[in-house]
Structure 1
């Protein structure tokens, strides 16, 4: 499930990810991304993962469509997690996606991640 995190710097869209993501979750997330992009011209994202479970196939398709749509406008992506493999995947993606900075943080480093994403 996705939910908006209210306690982020104004120019950062914070998203809490918990449990299993479904196609319907993207119906909630996409309007948040679009509104943030319209207001700020780019997307600076803070994503906090708790109890993450791999999405089902329809959700993966929605994720791919969303990624393609917002790839250019996304300039920074801070991910906080307690899962090492997610950190490695995130930072690997950041190394190969032009124009997007991606940095992974441990959950206790939440404040540092927010500062980094907002700068």
Structure 2
């Protein structure tokens, strides 16, 4: 049983299935919010970088070669394509979709933590 938000975050990350995206696709890399715990794990971006990403409706961590923080990407990014409620627009998906209990736990976590716009 997780005792801290950091423990819960790690537990949830481990339960979300992964899959291989289409190389060069960034269709799900739009502006998202993430918990302050998740943001604390990411490199700091300037206000200008954040504003440019928001203007372009992308993520400030989306670089020319894709996600610059893929290993530390927020839970909401991990859910894209793994749930029927957040499908990949290109039909990519893991062999087994995320289970409802895990998805609900992710949304409870996100709803109970301070969210920061990336």
Q: TM-score, normalised by structure 1?
A: 0.27
**Higher RCO structure, 1 or 2 (CA under 8 Å, sep 6+):** 2
Q: Which of the two has greater strand per residue?
A: 1
Q: TM-score, normalised by structure 2?
A: 0.27
Larger Rg computed on CA atoms? 2
